[in-house]
Structure 1
Amino acid sequence: MKLSVLVLITALAVGLSIGLVNFHFQGSWYYLLISFGISFITSFLVFYYLLEKYIYTKIKLIYKLIHNLKLGKDLKEALGEYVSADPINDVEQEVKEWAGAKKKEIDLLKKQEQFRREFLSNVSHEFKTPLFSIQGYIETLQDCLVDDPEMAMKFLKKAENNIERLSYLINDLDSISKLETGEIPINYEKFDFVPLAKEVMESLEDSAANDHIKLSFKDKYTTPTLVNADREKVRQILINLVQNSLKYGKENGSTAIKIFELHDQFLIEVTDDGIGIEEKHLPRLFERFYRIDSHRSRKEGGTGLGLAIVKHILEAHQQTISVRSTPNIGTTFAFTLEKG
């Protein structure tokens, strides 16, 4: 409702009230009209002045501040530009939108706080396991170093393995941190993806053979598949995904790399016929340290950061990754690369 209409209604109410009171005591229509006219005009001018000066201008100022600050302007700019035709209703709307935005912001902060707690808990657990193992091996070494040198060497080897695991964990955490902050640059170059995929397959042949899993890359990919990306980081992506397929593969299973041409991208798929992943796990699969139940894995290993690193590398390339899986049938990771 506009200011003039609001003041008019208020003045009419005041003028009519005073006129009726005067008519009750004087009993004259003439005095009723006189008192009504004077009180109506007076109250209209007074209310209009008071509302305009002390209330309406303040509301307009508040509205301008809310509206312009929402647009990202600083305080000086926010005070000087936008004026609404109906600031009272607009202030209500702006405040509702502001409250909704703040609620979303608070919900996001709560979610981030929960993620932070889980992350710290996971980091603590991942570090404690090898550290306690190393501590136990060293204490045992102190007892058998002289009496049983052969046993001492076994414990030294186990301690070395746990130290190596700690080193991998620290390096992976450092990589994710640097990818997030942009400290690790993406060195774009045009290269043929096919030779790189073959190189990765060959480098992991022994691991696959130990797990009795066949690696396949179709012979049909003979023509160059030129992409524009960081070759070494794409290698890291492929190694992580193939190793993941071996970890969750099955006896006498297979893993394949496939290429599909899109409009301005290539879609790369790493597919296995392993134990698969339940749907409830898929949305969180790329979170740091998120692990599927340990009994689903044929063997333990890794830092729990491989898929998180893959996701960060692709995001740094402004590309995407997705996963689809069916328990006891298999899993497919699919990511995109820009055409070269």
Structure 2
Amino acid sequence: MLTTSRGISLVLSIAIAALTVAFLLLLDDATPALLLVAGGISFSVAYILMQVTLEFLIFKEISNIYSVLEKIQKKDYSSIPDKNESLLSISPLRKINKTINTYAQAKNKEIETLQKNAEFRREFIADISHELKTPIFAAQGYIHTLLDGAVDDKSVRLKFLKRAAKSLNALDKLVQDLLTLNQMESGVIKFHFETFDLKEIIHEVIEELEHKAAKRDMLIRFYYDKEKSYLTFADKDKIFRVCQNLISNAIKYNNDGGEVEVHLKAQKNHITVEVKDNGKGIPPEDLKRIFERFYRVEKSRSREKGGTGLGLAIVKHILEGHKSKISVSSTVGKGSIFSFELPLEK
């Protein structure tokens, strides 16, 4: 009984009432009725105050602390109350409760981060194993076929050597892209900023990719205002790679005979680049993941069209290094628009 708030309140209230009555007995004019009323009032007031104090300011907080500690012991961080809830309490144990809640919330976030990292590592290892296996097995197949006797046939030998070389080139590009991405994330690669004309960079990219577009009867249209300046301060080589990747993807995932539009817009303080295609588009559930390593909307078609699956991840990191970001909007069946911004030099 004495371990509950009611039990403690009852004992302390009786003690206070007894002390009050004993004190009044010392008075000569104390009547039994006065003693009874004084004892009852002191008991009632003391019981209510004790009950409220113990129940809401001490026992409730202690119960919350034990509850949180039990959840921490069981490693169940999902249902731990928010640390801000304790700010509404006036209990002297509030600081302890707040500290424990803060610790529990931090542990919860730490565990969630570790779980996400573990899942990411599993997916990454599976993806990179598959990506490396494809060109390696292809090159192995051609070379072993040659070693088994096909090397004596000159036409077969040349054809298989070219295919093996193509597979090894794809493997080399994959490794180089992985190294580039890793160096960007770790800060090893430095950005070399300079002032240049963004319009000229896009022209160079289009000239480089026109042959690729022509093979599929595709047009690349470049829209810009000849009266405006498009000078920007950025890393010229890396922005070239961003434009190259976005326009190349617009060609790669467009329909035969389609169009790729590149829009260059100079605003008050920045330049906006938009790359638009009229291909199949990207489903909404894939939009949030297309900038992840090796993520492909259509895995089989993507591999047939080439590429390492790292291009958009590299684009994202390059633009983040310029304090910018890549944006995308897409409608299934109508196409996609990728855009980014760079500062305008005046």
TM-score bucket of the superposed structures, by smaller chain: 0.7 to 0.9
Q: Which moved more, 1:104-113 or 1:284-293?
A: 104-113
Q: Which moved more, 1:144-153 or 1:268-277?
A: 144-153
Deviations 1:147-184 (A, max 9, x none): 31221111111110011011000000000011111111
Alignment of structure 1 residues 1-340 onto 2, 5 Å: 12-13=12-13, 15-16=15-16, 87-218=92-223, 220-294=225-299, 299-340=304-345
1:223–1:279 CA distance, 2 compared to 1 (3 A): same
Q: Give the residue type in structure 1 aligned to 2:165.
A: E
Supply the distance in 1 between the matched residues of 2:303 and 2:235 (Cα, whole angstroms): 32
Deviations 1:302-340 (A, max 9, x none): 001000000010111111111111111010001111222
Supply the distance in 1 between the matched residues of 2:340 and 2:113 (Cα, whole angstroms): 27
Supply the distance in 1 between the matched residues of 2:311 and 2:92 (Cα, whole angstroms): 54
Q: Which moved more, 1:210-219 or 1:114-123?
A: 210-219
Supply the distance in 1 between the matched residues of 2:175 and 2:209 (Cα, whole angstroms): 23
Deviation of 1:15 after TM superposition, in Å, equals: 2.9
Q: Give the residue type in structure 2 aligned to 1:266.
A: I
Deviation of 1:267 after TM superposition, in Å, equals: 1.8
Q: Percent identity?
A: 40
Q: Contact (CA 8 Å) 2:330, 2:336: kept in 1 or not?
A: yes
Q: Give the residue type in structure 2 aligned to 1:286.
A: F
Supply the distance in 2 between the matched residues of 1:266 and 1:102 (Cα, whole angstroms): 43
Could you list the runs of 5+ residues in structure 2 that have no partner in the other structure? 1-7, 23-31, 40-61, 63-89
Q: TM-score normalized by structure 2? A: 0.73
Q: Secondary structure at the match of 2:190?
A: coil
Q: Give the residue type in structure 1 aligned to 2:282.
A: I
1:159–1:179 CA distance, 2 compared to 1 (3 A): same
Q: Secondary structure at the match of 1:215?
A: strand
Supply the distance in 2 between the matched residues of 1:193 and 1:199 (Cα, whole angstroms): 10
1:298–1:113 CA distance, 2 compared to 1 (3 A): closer
1:169–1:295 CA distance, 2 compared to 1 (3 A): closer
Deviation of 1:130 after TM superposition, in Å, equals: 1.0
Deviations 1:32-80 (A, max 9, x none): 9xxx9xxxxxxxxxxxxxxxxxxxxxx9xxxxxxxxxxxxxxxxxxxxx
The Cα RMSD (Å) is 3.3
Q: Contact (CA 8 Å) 2:222, 2:263: kept in 1 or not?
A: yes
Q: Secondary structure at the match of 1:266?
A: strand
Q: Contact (CA 8 Å) 1:216, 1:256: kept in 2 or not?
A: yes
Deviation of 1:9 after TM superposition, in Å, equals: 7.0
Q: Contact (CA 8 Å) 1:269, 1:334: kept in 2 or not?
A: yes
User: How many matched pairs?
Assistant: 284
